Structure 1
Amino acid sequence: MTNMKASTRALSLIEAFEGLNFDAYPDPGSGAQPWTIGYGHTRGVRHGDRATPRQIVGYLQMDIANAEHNVNRYVSVDITQNQFDALIDFVFNLGAGNFSTSTLLKKLNAGDIEGAASEFPRWVHSGGKVMSGLVSRRHAEQSLFMRPQNSPSPAINWTDVAIDITRKEHG
């Protein structure tokens, strides 16, 4: 497999489902740790933290790069950009550990694309409860995963992302 990069389709999923928060907030599933900031960033975040647009862009770049590394590391078959982008959002949300041991990955690496796609809806629980936001997110990932690759997916333009976040901070 080649060293793929996330496109704007992955970024759109992340932005839509994570939401943008300049102030740290507790995990929605448990109401406790981990504390989260920006678009779902958790590493080193503490209660009371506030992020600048520049920090949020940095966190997002780091977290997407981490997801890219792990999808590229664990997927051993050729996949489309849409499939890669769906997996980026999945790993961004659930972590590499969950992905690396998942039946979704096992089926994908066995060449069972439809079987892999059927696994997305199984990942909708947080704190022992079905979360409607996770149901919607898994459906969006599954839909993107199964969508034919009809057009090229644009690369992420980090300058545009930074401008957009700055605009959102100021209103």
Structure 2
Amino acid sequence: MSALAQAVALIKRWEGCKLVAYPDPATGGDPWTIGFGATGPGISRGVRWTQAQADDRLARDVDRFQKGVASVLKRQATEQQLGAMTSLAYNIGVKAFTSSTLLRKFNAGDVAGAAAEFLRWNKADGRVMRGLTNRRQDEREVFLS
């Protein structure tokens, strides 16, 4: 399975798809989210999308996030590693991924250390979120497969 397909599968599994905008679970407000976890301009209370809009946005976003992740890798990643790191970056942002210990360890060749770092990204608004803990475990398993 390609890295893009790995990332899409993980994101779909953990984000789910909602066609009506909803508030961030951690803050109860901003950022408003729709589709498969899409945020940004034009997404606010009351916004509705079709399934086609959600699918299109996911494809564009995952491609963009994968390019962002690939641009900071200093060593070759497997399809599974790139897919898992793209899923993580989709959730935390490329900027946070770029400054992460996970990336530093991966680039240094410490695959086991990088894999362990997925589990540290399980908080939202300073609170441990069970859904994020489960997602990070899944991403870690894909990364190591």
* TM-score under structure 1 length normalisation: 0.81
Is the contact made by 1:117 and 1:142 (CA closer than 8 Å) also made in structure 2?
yes
Name the residue aligned to 1:28.
Answer: 25
Name the residue aligned to 2:72.
Answer: 74
State the secondary structure of the residue aligned to 2:3. coil
CA–CA separation in structure 1 for the residues paired with 2:46 and 2:4: 32
Name the residue aligned to 1:7.
Answer: 4
- Equivalent residue in structure 1 for 2:117, among 116, 119, 122: 119
Unpaired runs of at least 5, structure 2: none
CA–CA separation in structure 1 for the residues paired with 2:52 and 2:12: 16
Shift, 1:66, TM fit: 1.4
- 2:31 maps to a residue whose letter is P
CA–CA separation in structure 2 for the residues paired with 1:128 and 1:8: 30
Unpaired runs of at least 5, structure 1: 148-171
- 1:9 maps to a residue whose letter is Q
Shift, 1:39, TM fit: 0.2
- Equivalent residue in structure 2 for 1:93, among 67, 91, 94: 91
Per-residue Cα deviation, 1:126-169 (whole angstroms, up to 9, x for no partner):
0111000000000001111111xxxxxxxxxxxxxxxxxxxxxx
1:106 maps onto 2:104 in alignment: yes
- 1:50 maps to a residue whose letter is R
- 1:98 maps to a residue whose letter is A
Moved over 3 A (4+): none
Shift, 1:111, TM fit: 0.8
- What is the aligned length? 143
Per-residue Cα deviation, 1:42-80 (whole angstroms, up to 9, x for no partner):
022111100012211221012101111111111110111
State the secondary structure of the residue aligned to 1:40. coil
State the secondary structure of the residue aligned to 1:51. coil
Which structure's relative contact order is higher, taking Cα pairs within 8 Å and 6+ residues apart?
1
1:40 maps onto 2:32 in alignment: no
1:56 maps onto 2:77 in alignment: no
Name the residue aligned to 1:160.
Answer: none
